[in-house]
Amino acid sequence: MRGVRGYLFVVGIVFLVFGAIYLFAPEVLTDPTGFGNLKPEVFTDVRATYGGLQLAIGLFCLWSGMRSQHHRAALTLVVMTFGAVAGSRAVGLLIDREPTTAMISALSFEIVMSAVSAVILSRHGRETRVSG
């Protein structure tokens, strides 16, 4: 349980950091991925979509980390979020056929995070059944 709590805190902080960067300085993360010169209304959408969603996920992970009854839900959210983003990125790379170092690095990170989270979720389920 303690390991799950720590993991959720780390993941929550990672989401909060990326969410804050997308909210307050989106060009830091959009420029390396080739977004180019964006109009203010596009930055507003990036701030809301990328920043807002990541801030919400990060806050949920931190909140859930403090409540053991919510560990499973938070781990499930993390598995699904990283898995869906990785899957969508992989489809995009197959369709667009323009793999860049940034895209391959992001995809690798997302796959690893989804897999690690799935393993922790699986072990957490076994621990809960054994101790419960």
How many CB atoms lie under 10 A from the CB of residue 19? 21
Nearest to 61 by CA among 39, 30, 82: 82
Tell me the pLDDT tens digit for each residue of 94-118: 999 989 998 999 999 999 999 999 9
How many CB atoms lie under 10 A from the CB of residue 54? 21
Q: In the chain, what is the straight-line distance between the N-terminal and C-terminal CA atoms, in Å?
A: 12
- Tokens found for residue 74: 């938070």
Q: What is the pLDDT of residue 35?
A: 81
Tell me the pLDDT tens digit for each residue of 53-74: 999 999 999 999 999 999 999 9
pTM: 0.88
Q: What is the pLDDT of residue 127?
A: 62
CA distance 71 to 59: 13
- CB-based burial label for 108 (10 Å; 0-12, 13-18, 19+): exposed
Q: What is the pLDDT of residue 130?
A: 47
CA distance 23 to 31: 14
CA distance 29 to 56: 18
